[in-house]
């Protein structure tokens, strides 16, 4: 057991007994949406995972402790503190623990802590990736590196559509990460179901997902597996509307000189404003959908 890691008793018992567990990130709580909507969404995601037969484990850093499984009170704390909490990537873990500070986990750090705890499957909204213009800025999310080295299945709605999706797929291919479309042969683009880019494989059931990940684990392959699950049709946004909002947000981001880890929160918030809140509503629904598929897959995986 890692001396910096605290596993919630319910989560620890489920892991010890081989029961299904699904990890959840905490950046979506602190940086993804305003209070109290962030807390309501986080608790709803946990409820959906339970309804589908698995135990939720929201992951965060509190007081320098790596937490695998938050209480409702801790989720409330994160929701109220919001963006005052440090957005923690791999480079931040040691310093936050040494200083006894709080940290909201990204896809990267959620994968790391989930792996430490023995949790195999993780549901999120969308992964980070290669930012537009990265050939000049070198702005590439640490999520891609983590997927290449940490054996956790990540269920998402694709890479965030503010990114360069083509370059993101090329990067994942270089790292040997399989990109799997759930019920689709086309990479979903977060707010929309289409991107114009294909995935490596299509699967149509939790059973197929669980079998593929079990094979990867049995072979000792070190990297993760990326499952891209399209946003439900009725919550998807028109491609032209979301692209226009993204283009404007990116132009404003450049004009303001925003870069690094502040880029994605700014872009997502600005896109939400430009779409009259429609993108935030879509974001919430796609997270719910991913939680459902992740829980169903975890249930099957626990029986293999």
- Write out pLDDT tens, residues 216-249: 999 999 999 999 999 999 998 887 887 888 889 8
pLDDT beyond 90 at 63: yes
More confident residue, 44 or 266: 44
| Active-site residue list | 25, 160
pLDDT tens for residues 169-222? Answer: 999 999 999 999 999 999 998 888 988 899 999 999 999 999 999 999 999 999
Say if domain 1-119 classifies as CATH 3.40.1790.10: yes
Give the span between the Cα atoms of 190 and 275, in whole angstroms.
Answer: 15
Helix spans in the chain (H) = 9-16, 27-30, 37-51, 72-81, 93-99, 107-117, 134-137, 142-147, 165-174, 206-218, 239-256, 263-274, 278-301
Query: According to the CATH classification, is domain 127-304 in 3.40.1790.10?
Result: yes
* Cβ contact 298:121 at 8 Å: yes
Q: Which two tokens stand for residue 94?
A: 């040691």
User: What stretch(es) of the chain map to CATH 3.40.1790.10?
Assistant: 1-119, 127-304
Q: Mean pLDDT, the chain, as a whole number?
A: 93
Taking the C-alpha atoms of residue 191 and residue 42, their distance in angstroms, rounded to an integer, is 19
Q: Please give the structure tokens belonging to residue 37.
A: 């909507």
Residues in the chain: 304
- pLDDT at res. 274: 80
- Report the percentage of the chain scoring pLDDT > 90: 75
pTM: 0.93
């Amino acid at each position: 057991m890692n001396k910096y890691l605290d596993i919630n008793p319910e989560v620890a018992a489920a892991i010890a007994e081989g029961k299904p567990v699904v990890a959840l990130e905490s950046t979506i709580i602190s940086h993804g949406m305003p209070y109290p909507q962030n807390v309501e969404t986080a608790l709803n995601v946990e409820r959906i995972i339970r309804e589908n037969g698995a135990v939720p484990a929201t992951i965060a850093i509190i007081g320098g402790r790596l937490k695998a499984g938050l209480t409702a009170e801790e989720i409330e704390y994160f929701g109220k503190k919001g963006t005052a909490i440090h957005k923690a990537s791999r480079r931040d873990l040691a310093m936050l623990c040494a200083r006894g500070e709080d940290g909201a986990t990204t896809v990267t750090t959620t994968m790391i802590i989930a792996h430490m705890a023995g949790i195999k499957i993780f549901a999120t909204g969308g992964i980070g990736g290669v930012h537009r213009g990265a050939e000049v800025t070198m702005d590439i999310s640490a999520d891609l590196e983590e997927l290449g080295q940490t054996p956790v299945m990540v269920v998402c709605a694709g890479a965030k559509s503010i990114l360069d999706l083509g370059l993101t797929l090329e990067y994942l291919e270089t790292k040997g990460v399989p990109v799997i479309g759930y019920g689709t042969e086309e990479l979903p683009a977060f707010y929309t179901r289409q991107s114009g880019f294909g995935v490596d494989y299509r699967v149509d059931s939790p059973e197929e997902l669980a079998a593929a990940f079990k094979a990867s684990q049995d072979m000792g392959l070190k990297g993760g597996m990326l499952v891209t699950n399209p946003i439900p049709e009725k919550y998807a946004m028109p491609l032209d509307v979301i692209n226009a909002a993204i283009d404007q947000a990116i132009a404003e981001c450049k004009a303001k000189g925003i870069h690094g880890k502040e880029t994605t929160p700014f872009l997502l918030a600005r896109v939400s404003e430009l779409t009259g809140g429609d993108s935030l509503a879509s974001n919430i629904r796609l997270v719910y959908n991913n939680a459902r598929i992740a829980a169903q897959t975890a249930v099957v995986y626990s029986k293999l």
